[in-house]
Structure 1
Amino acid sequence: MDAYGLLLLLLLLVLSGYYLLKRHYGYWERLGVPQLRPRLLLGNLGGLLSMKSSPAEFIVQLYNHADAQDKPFVGIHVFHKPALLLREPELIKRILVKDFVKFSNRYSNSDYQGDPLGSRNIFFLKNPAWKEVRLKLSPFFTSNRLKQMFALIAEVGSNLDAHLRQQPLHNERLRCFDIEAKELCALYTTDVIATVAYGVQANSFSQPNGEFRRHGRAVFEFSLKRAAEFTLVFFMPHLVPYLGFKVVPAEPTKFLRKTINYVMAERERSQKTRNDLIDLLIDFKRATQQQSKSQQQQSKQFVFEGDILVAQAVLFFTAGFESSSSTMAFALYELARHPDVQQRVRAEIKSALIASAGLITQQLIDNLSYMQLILHEVLRLYPPLPFLDRECTSEEGYDLSPYHKFQVPQGMPVYIPAYALHMDPEYYPEPRKFQPERFAPSNKPLHTPYTYMPFGLGPHGCIGERFGYLQAKVGLVNVLRNHLVSTSERTLRRMKFDPKAIILQADGGIHLRLVRDPLGV
């Protein structure tokens, strides 16, 4: 073949490839489904990869796109794959709650073999394994269990207060010192999770670079590589095993597996009980061991052993310290910027402490109604995960009537833009304004259901929601009882999110100033 013929062949191949791509990306147009027009190869995720804005803000851009306005849903392409972006609260209710059985799996996933601790926990597990593990973990989060945990959480809270009172003042006249709030709160939540779940003293205040804090930090430090890993986990999970990407990196995997297995072995050897997560996992393990292989096969039950057990403990650690520490840090940021709100919540704390003779009790925490409103509003402005994802699991597909005649096919991903709904002025007027009173009992009837989902919604909602609130409240009380929080020269006037972090994080940290100002109780 001469050069002319070779050039012609190459041109035909290019044109054929272009035609096939155009046809592939014309999926929604052929079906008459409203869509956001994709780009070849990138689909609708080009803005996510450019990192000009954070993933949360990128999802808002999709939600507010001119072609999506007044649509209950729109078709998008996550790179090459057609997907749905939901906008209508009633449709969101159907997918997350009413018809959950047809969307019972997350689309996101990690490598089951290469990333066992990242993939085998209840966040990523698929049905029926997810259902069984969730059912067995639920007793750990009952009201009675939380009451049993409270003394341990309160002790770590007291350590936080002591740690802050021991800090040298940067300005003796103003009696103040500066902090990075996210790291401070992560030291606290790391110690809480270590003692409540594992019965281990992490001592993060005296050892801020100790193993628990160092390895926990590594999971959520978003370098470009980590950003790529999490992007593929949520949007192209089928590629994750081939690229060797992990939710829990190799070193944290090694440390956490070794630590948890050691604690479990010691607990079994000593036969001591603490009513913590380790005891619960040991019970799962014993129940599995008591079944013969034939019984397990006949019952088709999930086998609780090895990394399956460790993975649940790892999720509780990573999710537990990260989400609560972020919520606490964002709350301190908003309190620093709104002194009137801070004055009111400190007055509430002081009144409660006087009534309890200075003791932080479960009843005191439960009665902090204004602090609860603050946390609700903080989680509206800063939900830990800015979107939810589901996958259609129904073999016959899913009918979107009366919104459209389109049938969602099995395996299609569906995305719910949580942060975008939280920031929609139709549902939350002046959405960027910090207003805890939005969640006052008198205002709750004004809220459109299924537009607020910081912990997810439906059966896949966060199992540790009540624990997260409890942990955050105890921590905030111990910060505010002896300190007033204010802005410093380094405090962002307007919050900027890290463009690399798929989990909502402040870009550059949250720098604040604490003023020693005891409530006198």
Structure 2
Amino acid sequence: MSFILSVVLIVTVIFALYKYVTRKNNFFLERNVPFLKPVPLFGNQLRGMLRIESGPDMLLNMGSNYRDVPFIGWFDFMNPGLIVQSPEIIKQLCIKDFENFVNHRGFGESEIDELFNNSLFLMKDQRWKDMRATLSPAFTGAKMRMMFDLVKKCAQNMVSYCNEKCVNDNGNMTTEARDLFTRVTTDVIATCAFGLEVDCLRDPKNQIFENSKKILDFESPIFMLKFMAMTVMPKIAKWLEISVTPKATTEFFKNLVSDTISHRRKTNAFRPDVIQLLIQAMDGKLKHEIDKKDDEAGFATIEESEIGKKSGRRDWTDAEIAGQCFIFFLAGYETTATLLNFAAYQLAVDQEIQSKLYEEIQETKNRLDGDSISYEILMKMEYLDAFICECLRMYPPMIAIDRVCSKDTTIDDGKGNSFTIPKGMFVFFNPFAVHYNPKYYPNPAKFDPTRFLGENKKKIEPYTFISFGVGPRACIGSRFALMQAKLILYHILAHFSIHVSQKTVIPLRFSKGVRFEPEGSIIDLKIRN
């Protein structure tokens, strides 16, 4: 009898658990919304977690298989969310109904991730609006000119490093593209964000580079378990004080910012970097400047909204100050390294495009007549801008742009079917569905920079290029990212040609790891004659 009771109890518990983890699985079915069938507990995440399919491939397939479907139901573990694929609905949620979709998702309910939760990226509602308005003047064209020479110095150091490697190997250097660009972009962000001159190319063991690798260690099973816990069981994760960033790393960045600001104030030292701009913002001296030359910043540049242009002064906590430097550092090196990785791969496999880009670089150098490249001249390089834009179209570093609904909002599929996004639901915008739709970009799988040249770029429909996001919450650092990527490419192509190596994977395949990168992006650099 006791055996039967035990079996009944076990079956009852298993059934109860099954009903609990699948209780939301019919959410979209009941509302007549197309959706991807979820796996109990794991939702639509299991194929990615098992590395059966990469995130970009999943989004590409979604855009292809549901091309005429403006929104699709999707499950992040047990939580139903919405994937939006329509430029019209993206415009509605990011512009017209922006007040209902101000915030990003964040990391569950944990409040112990000081750097993340105090950064502009994860701030919410009015607190975010105040901080955006405070920081926006730090990312105008005028401020980019101020930091231009710092970035250029890092690019020149990269050329020197690659030249040393080539000279020691008969004029050739075989390198993993992501590793090379992660190191140089870390150098750039270290000098521009923290005022530190490091050399990650020659000294990858320095503290900045070592700590940067610990911030989001996507390849670590422990990191992924923490992330899953904070997503699936946010209250328990908060109670257990689970944090994605190691405490020692958090303290390192907090102390770095605090010590630097203290030194600047004591010595009245000035340096044209983000720390200096934060000091000005803290003192209420950072103002939004009208830059008449901002229209030269490039097609992909995000124009600041009225929210960002408002002026105001606020009191800062130490954690908030560190948080802004931290997120600038993280976004600046990670996403730009991703962009440069794909750019180098594309140049290696398409020598014709590389020749056109090199030709523009040579023409620019000839006009400079021995002078060094300036911000204004770099921003006027049309083919370089078009090449970068096409990289951003085909390989958007932010593979899914998220928002959280704060008020029930109704959307329409254009065929008379409506769906009310409930308060609290997360929404993802799928850039691959838009960027690879032949309705907006003919022959979308072909890499073609001419889409963004001359009259062609005027034909691109609004809200069909969303690599840096859309609306008031779009990427605040687009100008810096574009300047950094263009300057690094300018310098490397001026001195080296890029080629496929014996280990380059052709055709391009997206890595099934968590990071967005091409599989086997091993390239050869050769010194130009």
In the superposition, the TM-score normalised over structure 2's length comes to 0.86
Please give the secondary structure, in 1, of the residue aligned with 2:28.
Answer: helix
Q: Are 1:362 and 2:375 matched, yes or no?
A: yes
Shift of 1:352: 0.5
Shift of 1:239: 6.0
Shift of 1:117: 0.8
Q: Are 1:334 and 2:346 matched, yes or no?
A: yes
Q: How does 1:425-464 map to 2 (within 5 A)?
A: 425-464=438-477
The equivalent residue for 2:136 is: 138
Instruction: State whether residues 331 and 378 of structure 1, in contact with CA within 8 Å, keep that contact through their aligned partners in structure 2.
Output: yes
The answer to which of 427-436 and 366-375 deviates more is 427-436
Q: How does 1:397-436 map to 2 (within 5 A)?
A: 397-401=408-412, 403=414, 404-436=417-449
Instruction: State whether residues 353 and 364 of structure 1, in contact with CA within 8 Å, keep that contact through their aligned partners in structure 2.
Output: no
CA offset digits 1:3-54 (Å, max 9, x no partner): 4455445545555655566553222222333333333322233322222122
Q: How does 1:244-255 map to 2 (within 5 A)?
A: 244-255=241-252
**2:273 partner amino acid:** D
**Residues 496, 253 of structure 1: alpha-carbon distance in 2 compared, 3 angstrom cutoff:** farther
Q: Are 1:346 and 2:358 matched, yes or no?
A: yes
CA offset digits 1:322-369 (Å, max 9, x no partner): 211221222111111111111111111111111112321223211211
The equivalent residue for 1:291 is: none
What is the rounded CA distance, in whole Å, between the counterparts of 1:9 and 1:164 in structure 2? Answer: 67
The equivalent residue for 1:215 is: 211
Instruction: State whether residues 118 and 246 of structure 1, in contact with CA within 8 Å, keep that contact through their aligned partners in structure 2.
Output: no
The equivalent residue for 1:80 is: 78
**Residues 449, 47 of structure 1: alpha-carbon distance in 2 compared, 3 angstrom cutoff:** farther
Q: How does 1:300-311 map to 2 (within 5 A)?
A: 303-311=315-323
**Residues 154, 44 of structure 1: alpha-carbon distance in 2 compared, 3 angstrom cutoff:** closer
**Residues 490, 250 of structure 1: alpha-carbon distance in 2 compared, 3 angstrom cutoff:** farther
**Residues 236, 378 of structure 1: alpha-carbon distance in 2 compared, 3 angstrom cutoff:** farther
Q: How does 1:496-507 map to 2 (within 5 A)?
A: 496-501=509-514, 503-507=515-519
Question: Could you say what the CA RMSD is over the residues aligned between the two structures, in angstroms?
Answer: 2.7
Shift of 1:210: 1.4
Shift of 1:517: 0.5
Q: How does 1:49-64 map to 2 (within 5 A)?
A: 49-64=49-64
The equivalent residue for 1:294 is: none
Instruction: State whether residues 134 and 313 of structure 2, in contact with CA within 8 Å, keep that contact through their aligned partners in structure 1.
Output: no
**2:410 partner amino acid:** D
Instruction: State whether residues 140 and 276 of structure 1, in contact with CA within 8 Å, keep that contact through their aligned partners in structure 2.
Output: no
What is the rounded CA distance, in whole Å, between the counterparts of 2:353 and 2:232 in structure 1? Answer: 39
The equivalent residue for 2:189 is: 193
Please give the secondary structure, in 2, of the residue aligned with 1:27.
Answer: coil
The equivalent residue for 2:106 is: 108
Shift of 1:415: 1.3
**Residues 10, 204 of structure 1: alpha-carbon distance in 2 compared, 3 angstrom cutoff:** closer
Instruction: State whether residues 108 and 235 of structure 1, in contact with CA within 8 Å, keep that contact through their aligned partners in structure 2.
Output: no
**1:512 partner amino acid:** I
What is the rounded CA distance, in whole Å, between the counterparts of 1:74 and 1:391 in structure 2? Answer: 16
What is the rounded CA distance, in whole Å, between the counterparts of 1:157 and 1:302 in structure 2? Answer: 36
Shift of 1:371: 0.7
Q: Are 1:36 and 2:36 matched, yes or no?
A: yes
What is the rounded CA distance, in whole Å, between the counterparts of 1:117 and 1:207 in structure 2? Answer: 26
Shift of 1:303: 4.1
Shift of 1:474: 1.0
- Identity fraction in percent: 28
Shift of 1:62: 3.7
What is the rounded CA distance, in whole Å, between the counterparts of 1:148 and 1:217 in structure 2? Answer: 28
What is the rounded CA distance, in whole Å, between the counterparts of 1:276 and 1:407 in structure 2? Answer: 45
CA offset digits 1:462-517 (Å, max 9, x no partner): 1010111111111111111111111111112133333232x413345x21111111
Out of 483, 486, 490, which is 1:473 matched to? 486
**Residues 166, 10 of structure 1: alpha-carbon distance in 2 compared, 3 angstrom cutoff:** closer
**1:117 partner amino acid:** L
Shift of 1:276: 2.5
Instruction: State whether residues 184 and 201 of structure 2, in contact with CA within 8 Å, keep that contact through their aligned partners in structure 1.
Output: yes
Instruction: State whether residues 108 and 389 of structure 1, in contact with CA within 8 Å, keep that contact through their aligned partners in structure 2.
Output: no
What is the rounded CA distance, in whole Å, between the counterparts of 2:200 and 2:105 in structure 1? Answer: 35
What is the rounded CA distance, in whole Å, between the counterparts of 1:255 and 1:160 in structure 2? Answer: 26
**1:433 partner amino acid:** K
**Residues 318, 73 of structure 1: alpha-carbon distance in 2 compared, 3 angstrom cutoff:** same
**Residues 16, 177 of structure 1: alpha-carbon distance in 2 compared, 3 angstrom cutoff:** closer
Shift of 1:112: 4.9
Instruction: State whether residues 360 and 383 of structure 2, in contact with CA within 8 Å, keep that contact through their aligned partners in structure 1.
Output: yes
**Residues 22, 367 of structure 1: alpha-carbon distance in 2 compared, 3 angstrom cutoff:** closer
The answer to which of 486-495 and 400-409 deviates more is 400-409
Instruction: State whether residues 485 and 515 of structure 1, in contact with CA within 8 Å, keep that contact through their aligned partners in structure 2.
Output: yes
**Residues 94, 385 of structure 1: alpha-carbon distance in 2 compared, 3 angstrom cutoff:** same
Please give the secondary structure, in 2, of the residue aligned with 1:321.
Answer: helix
The answer to which of 477-486 and 110-119 deviates more is 110-119
Shift of 1:376: 0.6
CA offset digits 1:169-219 (Å, max 9, x no partner): 3653xx322122222222222222222222221132332321112222333
What is the rounded CA distance, in whole Å, between the counterparts of 1:498 and 1:243 in structure 2? Answer: 33
Instruction: State whether residues 73 and 87 of structure 1, in contact with CA within 8 Å, keep that contact through their aligned partners in structure 2.
Output: yes
Instruction: State whether residues 196 and 277 of structure 1, in contact with CA within 8 Å, keep that contact through their aligned partners in structure 2.
Output: yes
Runs (5+) with no aligned partner, structure 2: 286-311
In the superposition, the TM-score normalised over structure 1's length comes to 0.88
What is the rounded CA distance, in whole Å, between the counterparts of 2:313 and 2:405 in structure 1? Answer: 23
Shift of 1:104: 0.5
**Residues 25, 186 of structure 1: alpha-carbon distance in 2 compared, 3 angstrom cutoff:** closer
In the alignment of these two chains, the number of paired residues is 499
What is the rounded CA distance, in whole Å, between the counterparts of 1:308 and 1:30 in structure 2? Answer: 43
The answer to which of 21-30 and 322-331 deviates more is 21-30
Shift of 1:94: 0.7
What is the rounded CA distance, in whole Å, between the counterparts of 1:428 and 1:231 in structure 2? Answer: 36
The answer to which of 139-148 and 27-36 deviates more is 27-36
**Residues 281, 63 of structure 1: alpha-carbon distance in 2 compared, 3 angstrom cutoff:** same
Runs (5+) with no aligned partner, structure 1: 289-299
What is the rounded CA distance, in whole Å, between the counterparts of 1:517 and 1:238 in structure 2? Answer: 58
What is the rounded CA distance, in whole Å, between the counterparts of 1:225 and 1:54 in structure 2? Answer: 20
